[in-house]
Amino acid sequence: MRVLIGECAPRAPRNFRLKHGHERLAVHEAGWSGKANGELLAAVEAEFDVLVTLDTNLRYQENLTGRRIAIVVLFARSNRLSHVSPYFPTCLQALESIKPREIVHLETATQDLIRELSLSANLQLGQLVHS
């Protein structure tokens, strides 16, 4: 699988995917830094199977009809390694099964668990205040 890593991703995911047998290149390594999304997608389609990006607005900004490249979007809070690294295992799974023209949005179970714990804690706190 030929994977292009978006320019906002930290270095670690690039190395992680390389260790798992995927050919990878970062946007800046290919000389495409600063290209608008549509221009970037048009340029990379001939050379890459998948774009891994942190750009959660990509699906709203670009019409992907007629494109063949697959896209994996990581819904991380930021591009800090501590926020991106929980996605590594799920991203690898997505790369094993993704098909051309498919967009996969990844949210980690960890985020869901944190969200549930936060809601639960707020609910309990609210019950204590009203007691």
pLDDT tens readout for residues 92-127:
888 888 888 888 888 864 554 444 444 444 444 444
Return d(Cα 22, Cα 42) in angstroms, integer.
Answer: 21
Q: How far is CA 31 from CA 34, 94, 110, in A?
A: 9, 26, 34
Please state the rounded mean pLDDT for residues 3-24: 66
* Three-state DSSP state, 62: coil
Look up residue 68 and give its two tokens. 């063949």
Of the pLDDT bands very low, low, confident and very high (cuts 50, 70, 90), residue 21 is low
> Would you state the pLDDT for residue 96?
85
Radius of gyration in angstroms for the set of CA atoms belonging to the chain, rounded to a whole number: 17
Residue 97, CA atoms < 13 Å, CB-side half-sphere: 5
What residue ranges define each of the domains in the chain, with the CATH number in brackets? 2-130 (3.40.1360)
Q: Where are any strands of DSSP class E within the chain?
A: 2-5, 23-26, 50-53, 70-74, 103-106
* Three-state DSSP state, 58: helix
Return d(Cα 88, Cα 11) in angstroms, integer.
Answer: 12
Tell me the pTM.
0.73
Q: What share of the chain in percent tops pLDDT 70?
A: 72
